[in-house]
Structure 1
Amino acid sequence: MNDDFDAAAFAELLASDTGGLLDAPSTPKPVTSTDRLERSFLEIVEFYREHQRVPSSETLDIAERKLGARLDGFRAAPERAAAVAHLDEVKLLAKPEIDSYEDLLANDDLDLLEEESDIFDTSSLPVIAERRSAKEVSRRVKAKNFEEFEPLFKQMHADLASGEFVIRDFAGEDTIKEGQFFILAGVMLFVAEVGEDEIVASGSTTKKKQRLRVIFENGTEGSMYRQSLSIRFYLQDGRSIVRSGFDASEIGDADVESGHVYVLRSLSEDPQISSIENLYKIGFSRNPVKKRIANAEKEPTYLMAPVHIEEDYRVYNLRPSSLENLLHRVFGSVRLNVSQVGIDGRTYNPHEWFVAPLPVINQAIKMIMTGDIVNVVYDPAQEQLVPRED
């Protein structure tokens, strides 16, 4: 067997490989952060080419809203914009023209200019900053009255563990409502307050904005516009926390959450209270019930004791206080007559506690919603709803 290497024959073989069959396979290049950034920007470019307009971050279309928020993020971050500038054939990164200082403030969708002091405030200079008290500095970092919110976060973790609540993809700006929990950059947050509508000028038009008070589980709080928080959710893979079996996106624009009608059971150790069977408080709250009862043991309306939430009904498109008042009329004959002394030394008469079986209370609430409650009354002797006698 001839082991001599025939260089001429091998060269002839390579020359005859016009299809590249003998070429060494190329090693695929790893996907870098720049590649991902360019790919995400090209999706925006593709949207523009298809629709001949930039995507809006305020539309109800979730897919377009996501692209619009992403474009807002590129425009707000110079380093990100520079990384994809070579792909911007249609000038998507061009910021809206600003004709005046007022326009500049009006177009600050990311709250980049939202500071408590103006540009002439020298308090941030090193020498002056040393004169600021630690108390003043801490107010910018720590959440006020965080001890009132901390139990809500603990309860939410317990509800997640039990499956009562679940984590879902963020479903849009419209789902950011007072009392809702979210996760941003791995930290749970609670929307504690939603401010009144602010009419903000934006060039030749105006738009409504709502300022939020957002409490974070790490003990800090922030103040930002609803739209700004929405953009951060899109940019940082924010998640929603919703009740199991309930999709926050199922609530339409015309459906307005009015509040909560709740049923509570007292955990009082006072024998005069704990010995009463079927004792429940029926009430209404515009805020989440867990927040409302955070200090129950200090409030006479809760009999100066902790309480357990038996039922929590979300009410849409009607006045929950009317529903609550009707329930009080239905069970007025079994209202608890009791007095409580508050921590201020004054005597109070809680009027929202009733002695009736929980299934009957739930039945009454459902009959109110259907309108059938007008045909029945509560009979304390039978402990049930019976037909009304004309």
Structure 2
Amino acid sequence: MSDDAYPDLSGLDGTDVAVEIPALLAAEPWFATEVAGLQFYEYGRVDELTGERVLPLPGDRLHLVREPANPHDPNAVQVWWRNSRMLGHMPRFTAERVAPLMDAGAAARAYVHTPGDGEAWSLRALVVGPAAETIHGRYIQHIADAAMCRSDAECERDRLLYDRAERNRLTLRQHRRRRLRDAVEVLRHVPCEPVLPEPNAQGRTDVDDIADVLRCSRSTVVRIAASVGIALGRWDYAVEVTPELRAALLEWDRKPKRGGSCPSSRAPSASGNSTPSRTREGSMPATGKPRRPAPPATHVIVDRRTWRVVSRHPSLAAARDAWRARAFPEPGLIKTTLGSWAAHHLIRTVAAAESAARRSAVEAAKRTRTA
């Protein structure tokens, strides 16, 4: 049983209440209660015979007297000090449960537990004996309930807090979905035109640099230049990018690339790598000049659930193109693809992706050791 099952009698050794310690340790019924009406009776008044004030001390003996003729409460119980000074009454709620037992002959021994200062309800009395059995039983049941289960008020408070947290969670989810949907709509309408290389001092641009930006073969650039009246010979490695040629190159880039006939197609391959495959046309340029090595990857598309690299790309623009081609293969499929692929794949730099993969591996190892 907890300490609350016994009254606190520390510092009261040698007083009248000290004789009740063995009985209390033997599970004698008890309860503590305030005394009502201190301001209306003799508490704090001066004794005419001794000249002392009526101030009970902690541990002093009190006497309980039934007052069945009380016009306000037939269960009234008077509280007396030294059999000559009335201090007040038991509270109505307490007297209602003690009076029937006292009328039946049950003993009720009372002592000053907290002397108070004369203000209303400031003095507390300790009642010990069979007459305290009803209130003591209710008090012990309250202690047991508080130790073993939660009160209705606590359960209701937790339910309200859970409902509030659930509403906030749903609201945040809706906000995130709306922001993601708005971002997807913005990305769909953002022009994705490639940035052509800057010309050299002679105002000409390397053909291989244009092919790398458009992700196509050199022969494709030669063919596009020929369509606007610019002829490139076998040993022509640079071309002047006129407004007509620039428009033709951008128009070719905007056209959808389907199948494997075009080496600059941005659609991911079956292995998940969006790097264009080497076709017969792209493996050997028309001029016979060997192709430059592919630029190193600077950005990758990763699966945010496992941080596995899905594809590598030489620039942020290329990574964005590959992400859009995979996330939105056809118009009208935004919602379905957003939930299955686009929501779980991100564009990161190579260094950031490697760092995230290392952190994920360390956390997985910790979870394994803990399990």
Higher strand share: 1
Fold in common (TM above 0.5): no
For normalisation by structure 2, the TM-score amounts to 0.21
Higher helix share: 2
Q: Which protein has the larger Cα radius of gyration, Structure 1 or Structure 2?
A: 2
For normalisation by structure 1, the TM-score amounts to 0.20
